[in-house]
Amino acid sequence: MKKITITSQFSAYNSLQELPTDIQDLMEQAVAVRKNAYAPYSKFRVGAALLLDNGKIVLGSNQENAAYPSGLCAERVAIFHAGAVYPNAKILKMAITAASDTNKTIAPIPPCGACRQSIAEYETRQETPIEIYFMGETGDIYKSDSLKNLLPFMFDKKFL
């Protein structure tokens, strides 16, 4: 038996003001669209904003359904919309923010596993990494240079 060590590296920003200006704008749009989330069951609102290589910004918020798990996370709403409307565009950057209606979220909240797999599909398809910035309602913002930091053993088309 041998042991395998995997490390991931993230950048941490203390506030929105510490982010590069274009990322501040992207995160502010994610915060704004987070308010449009339909989250009557979880009371957990998520907003996502994608910057595409054509300069377009695509937004998404989580949309729940009483018939779990028929709802969709904000990240996948935005990614799938980008794929449908701008099929040849690459996703350069993604900003994600989450807030709870019942308690303050201050820790950076990363994408769930299903969203990580969906982001992995697009990152693999476009053959370039996607910068991912994520935060709670307030507090630190983490940046990953690629989805591979969040999902080091990505399942992709090469396994099929």
Which candidate in 18, 28, 75, 137 is catalytic? 75
Backbone phi and psi for residue 94, each to the nearest 5 degrees, phi listed first: -135, 130
Write the DSSP symbol of residue 101.
Answer: S
Q: How far is the CA of 46 from the CAs of 33, 65, 71, 124, in angstroms?
A: 8, 15, 13, 24
* Strand partners for 100: 44
- Residues making up the annotated binding site are 62-68, 73, 112, 115
| Sequence ranges of the binding site for Zn(2+) | 73, 112, 115
C-beta separation of 41 from 64 below 8 A: yes
Query: Which residues are annotated as part of the binding site for substrate?
Result: 62-68
Catalytic residue flag (residue 75): yes
Q: Pairing state of beta strands 44-52 and 57-61?
A: antiparallel
Give the active site residues: 75
